[in-house]
Amino acid sequence: MKNLPIILNIILFALVGHLYYLNFKKPQPAGQQTILPPVSTTGGVRIAYVNGDTLDAKYEWLKQQKQAIEQRVRNAESSLAAKEDALKRDAYALQEKYQTGTMTQADAEKQQADIMQRGQRLQEEEERLRKSLADDQKKAFNDLYANVETKLKTLSGQIGYDYILSYSRGGQILLANDSLNITNQVLQLLNAKEEKK
């Protein structure tokens, strides 16, 4: 999730190709907000930007996705830690029994083999969980791309720009004119769509 602003930049740059010339002549249904391009650019190419960091912080759907994945990571870490602690306790108990002479060498070897098998299964479970979480994150990024793209296409009649770029501090765009910032309007439209669900 640390690379989310970079991913958002990629997503919003990809959307540029989908937002060519949007028709203003269609009447807007009552209650729909229109994001109009600044007056100074209405004669030429209409460009605006969305702040990727703000979108990351305030887009409700994205926040829910991140929270769900973070909760799953916490649950997995807790479950694995509990199993690892139980395995360590059993290994220490075996070692103590063997050193105090309360078990035979054959019994100790049998229990040691069992503990080693449990350790191997725990490593395999950790790998499966790690892969599953990586798959979930990849799916969340794909869903994010599809979700933003679908919603911006849906909103295309209201946006009115030829290009919408993504801006984040330290990204590829070094400076952006604040008058071209439509982040809050896009967030309102995106989050309004979420509330209707």
Region of poorest pLDDT, from 2-11, 65-74, 172-181: 2-11
User: Length of the chain, please?
Assistant: 197
Q: Is the pLDDT of residue 24 over 50?
A: no
pLDDT of residue 43: 62
Provide mean pLDDT across the span 13-24. Answer: 34
**Residue 75's domain spans which residues?**
4-28+35-196
For the stretch 64-103, what's the b/e string if a residue is b when 16 or more beta carbons lie within 10 angstroms of its beta carbon? ebbeebeeebeebeeebeebeeebeeebeebeeebeeeeb
Q: Is the pLDDT of residue 70 over 50?
A: yes
Bridge partner list, 194: none
CA distance 127 to 155: 41
Provide mean pLDDT across the span 92-100. Answer: 88
Q: Regarding predicted confidence, which is higher, 140 or 135?
A: 135
Total domains, the chain: 1
Q: Regarding predicted confidence, which is higher, 195 or 99?
A: 99
Both structure tokens of 165? 């770029």
